[in-house]
Amino acid sequence: MALIVQKYGGTSVANPERIRNVARRVARYKAMGHQVVVVVSAMSGETNRLIGLAKEIMPDPDPRELDVMVSTGEQVTIGMTALALMELGIKAKSYTGTQVKILTDNAFNKARILNIDEHNLKSDLADGYVCVVAGFQGVDANGNITTLGRGGSDTTGVALAAALGADECQIYTDVDGVYTTDPRLVPEARRLDKITFEEMLELASQGSKVLQIRSVEFAGKYKVKLRVLSSFDEDGDGTLITFEEDSKDDSMEEPIISGIAFNRDEAKITILGVPDKPGIAYQILGPVADANIDVDMIIQNVGADGTTDFTFTVHKNEMNKALSLLRDKVQGHIQAREINGDDKIAKVSVVGVGMRSHVGIASQMFRTLAEEGINIQMISTSEIKIAVVIDEKYMELAVRVLHKAFELEAK
């Protein structure tokens, strides 16, 4: 007997028939003798609908009230899923985040889980119940409803699995696993049987949307065995997310590159002619950080005239905020020549733990892009990743040629 947490995303619970389908799968696991905790998202489109309603009343909705509203999506699906299980003769009970007591901090719309009270769930499981828990939501110390950020149900699933000491956390979605890249862009993309946490983390942070990045961080930290599967496919094994140590003993040669991620979510801000002196990077990025704007890539280069060009990327939605924040500082005490923003960029990253032991990956990547005449605007690397910023209009081409160059389609 195992304890399994199964998380079902919005498309898996999009209508009553699909919810019945979820219940049938849960029933099969129960019949095998397992204990099951189910975490569900809202029906697909519902969270967006609720946010839209809030914005019709207040363009920039009050964060506390927004959480009160958007958390209702999941409250509907836990009830429906519990009913569907009962209809199959299975004992089931739904739980909101407050009812479990998924305690979070009070950062509305992007709260972090601080603690999970697993007591009630454990005793229900022991009594033979399937517990159906609302994803995405929690409660702060003052009893306010909070939500965990878009896609946050993944994090609920993983956090519950960690708190309950589950044997596996299964994430059911509309794709049957993690692919070498998005199959909608590259039809030859291949499903990976397994991938390491580190690679998954890089892919998620570089734009792969399969799992919410925080859920992957959480799973890595608490060593939760994570599997991504399709809820529309009866018997696929999906993709297992492993720890590098555990997958070492495989006799098969591991591929050097596991996947290619991309995103169009970032914008580039460049400050030209910055005096090259200590403290400049802090003077530029300090105010940006104080305004809670995330900075991703940063480059700085001293030119022949002794001044520096300073470039960094932020989320597209925050480009204008960052620009207006810095504009008078640039002219003022920073004493730089000019500042400008460009949101017509894309980031493309190749990821693989094999980079640690193989040289020449970067040069192969750059050669491949050069052969297509694609100009690289920025580069950043980690031990297992090389990311480039390019003109947005070449993104698809870049992903396709890199996928081919690194032979990701062939096994």
Question: Which partner in Mg ion, ligand ASP, none is near 135 (CB below 5 to 8 A by kind)?
Answer: ligand ASP
Rank residues 212 and 311 by Cβ distance to Mg ion and give the closer one. Answer: 212
CB of 76 to ligand ASP, least distance (A): 11
Contact set with Mg ion (CB under 5 A): 9, 151
Residue corresponding to tokens 């892919």: 203
**Residue 153 vs 239, nearer CB to ligand ASP:** 153
Which of ligand ASP, Mg ion, none does 42 bind, CB closer than 5 to 8 A by kind?
Answer: ligand ASP
d(CA 322, CA 284): 10
CB of 117 to ligand ASP, least distance (A): 21
**138 or 151: CB nearest ligand ASP:** 151
- As measured in angstroms, the least distance from the Cβ of 402 to Mg ion is 26
* Residue 120 or 230 with smaller CB distance to Mg ion: 230
How far apart are CB 183 and Mg ion at their closest, in Å? 17
Report, in Å, the least distance between residue 106 CB and ligand ASP.
Answer: 19
Residue 134 CB, nearest distance to ligand ASP (Å)?
Answer: 10
Report the partner that residue 47 touches, choosing among ligand ASP, Mg ion, none (CB closer than 5 to 8 A by kind). Answer: ligand ASP
Q: Three-state DSSP class for 262?
A: strand
3-class secondary structure, 45: coil
CA dihedral for 12, 18, 19, 20, sign (positive or negative):
negative
Which value, in Å, is the radius of gyration of the alpha carbons in the chain?
23
Residues in the chain: 411
Distance between start and end Cα atoms, the chain = 35
8 Å CB contact between 159 and 218: yes
Binding site for ligand ASP (CB under 6 A): 9-10, 41-42, 47, 73, 135-136, 150-154
Pairing mode of beta strands 130-134, 92-95: parallel
Q: Nearest Cα to 150, choosing from 248, 74, 263?
A: 74
Check: CB of residue 44 under 8 Å from CB of residue 54: no
Q: What is the DSSP string of 195-215?
A: EEHHHHHHHHHTT--SS-HHH
State which residue, 44 or 300, has the beta carbon closest to ligand ASP: 44
Nearer to ligand ASP, 51 or 299 (CB): 51
Residue whose C-beta lies closest to Mg ion: 151
Q: Which does residue 192 touch among Mg ion, ligand ASP, none (CB within 5 to 8 A, set by kind)?
A: none
